[in-house]
Amino acid sequence: MTFLPFTRPTIDEETIAAVGDVLRSGWITSGPKVKEFEAKLSEYCGGRPVRAFNSGTATMEVALRLAGIGPGDEVITTPLTWVASAGVILAVGGRPVLVDIDPVTRNIDLDLIEAAVTKKTKAILPVDLAGLPVDRDKLYAIATRHKLRVIEDAAQAFGSHWQGKRIGMLGDFVSFSFHANKNITTGEGGALVLPADIDPALAERLRFQGVTRHPDGGMDVDVLGGKFNLTDIAATIGLGQLKQLEAFTRRRCELALRYFENFDKLAITDLLLPLRDFRNSNWHMYQVLLPTAVDRGAFIAAMKARGIGIGVHYPALHLFSLFRHQGFKEGDFPQAERVGGQTVTLPLFPAMVEADVDRVSCTVADVLKSAA
Nearest one of 327, 332, 301 to 316, comparing CA atoms: 332
Q: Domain coordinates of the chain in residue numbers? A: 13-238, 245-371
Q: Residues 53-62: what's their mean pLDDT?
A: 98
pLDDT value at position 114? 98
Give alpha helix (H) positions in 5-48.
13-25, 32-44
Q: What is the pLDDT of residues 167-218, one digit of tens each?
A: 999 999 999 999 999 999 999 999 999 999 999 999 999 999 999 999 999 9
> Which among 33, 182, 329, 369 is annotated as catalytic?
182
For the beta carbon of residue 157, count every other beta carbon within 10 angstroms.
31
Q: Residues 120-148: what's their mean pLDDT?
A: 98
Q: Which CATH number fits domain 13-238: 3.40.50.80, 3.40.640.10, 3.40.50.720, 3.50.50.60?
A: 3.40.640.10
107 CA to centre of own chain = 12
Nearest one of 294, 311, 203, 233 to 15, comparing CA atoms: 233
At residue 372 the predicted structure's pLDDT band, cuts being 50, 70 and 90, is confident
Q: Residues 334-347: what's their mean pLDDT?
A: 98
3-class SS at 264? helix
- Residue 361 confidence (pLDDT) above 90: yes
Fold of 245-371: Aspartate Aminotransferase, domain 1 (3.90.1150)
Q: Is 182 a catalytic residue?
A: yes
At residue 371 the predicted structure's pLDDT band, cuts being 50, 70 and 90, is confident
Taking each continuous run of H as one helix and of E as one strand, the counts in the chain are 12, 13
pLDDT value at position 269? 85
**Which helix (H) or strand (E) segment is 203 a member of?**
helix 200-207
pLDDT value at position 1? 77
pLDDT value at position 299? 98
- Residue 155 confidence (pLDDT) above 90: yes
Task: Report the distance separating Cα 53 and Cα 88, nearest Å.
Answer: 15
Is the full-model pTM beyond 0.85? Answer: yes
Percent of the chain topping pLDDT 70 = 100
